[in-house]
Structure 1
Amino acid sequence: MNQSSQTPPAHDAKALLAQAEAASTASVRATEPPFGFLLSLTLIWAGIFSLYGVINSALWYWSLLLFLPVLVWYIFWSRKRAKSRPALKHSGKYMLGVFVMLAGMQFGNFWIPQTWLLVALKFVALFAVLTTAFWVMRRETITSRIKDGNEQAS
């Protein structure tokens, strides 16, 4: 049987498809904020909100300025990258991540620690909840954008 010169063998087509998928995934991941940014944002967020109700209110409000260096980092980082196309719709897992983040923050507002040990426990709990939520949301955004890009190409 004579194969056309334009139709690559099956193993070449699989390799080319895998290369295109890897390039697409790398491109989408490069436009999303790095996980280090999300981790530092989570550390600051959990630190500030674990001290809510423990330190003086005026000092607590001033502590929100700790977000400024992370914001400046993000602005400078985002200037160097390609503009990401927003996901057209978010998955149920993404919305579950949003819900977990909101529920964790609301629970944190109800929990006013009385000792520094409880402050540390609240910090660990908030850090775990926020890290998990951000990780799920980032992963689902990447997956949604790759799926959307594959559907657009068809």
Structure 2
Amino acid sequence: MRIVSIFLATLVLIFSLSACQIVNEEELATIREEGYQQGKESAERDSASALSAQYDAGHEEGYQAGYQKGREDGLKEAAQKAKADKAKEESKPQSKTSTAASSSGNSTTTSQGTQTATVYVTDTGSKYHRYGCRYLRESCHARTLSQAKGQGYTACSVCNPPA
């Protein structure tokens, strides 16, 4: 078996040597120059490909970092806004009148001891009403309580608006 493999190796060597051509110095220099150029072009392609891969990786990394920072900043801003809204809501003065009026659709606020409420009047009536009163079907005009009283309107006995 060993002799057969040696014999085959010898045959391969003989055929490969017979295929070799002898070249002069000019041809050898040309072959070397062509090989150098091909190697250089290959290296440039590999370098450009590597740069492109690095760019793509850097782009993705930057995108993810920017996305994450933007998301965190957005969540922080939303939390701060919610906190500020809650603090603003808690700092508003609450009164029984304003709670009752806001649940019925009227806005009532207390300011330096005077009370203002939104009431509604009709085109033809002499009474002022709460929003949603059955007598407001034909027309409905908003007024402050003091304006309605100043214009001679009196409270409706059905919906019992603020007096």
TM-score, normalisation: structure 2: 0.28
TM-score, normalisation: structure 1: 0.29
Structure label with greater radius of gyration: 2
Larger RCO (CA under 8 A, 6+ residues apart): 1
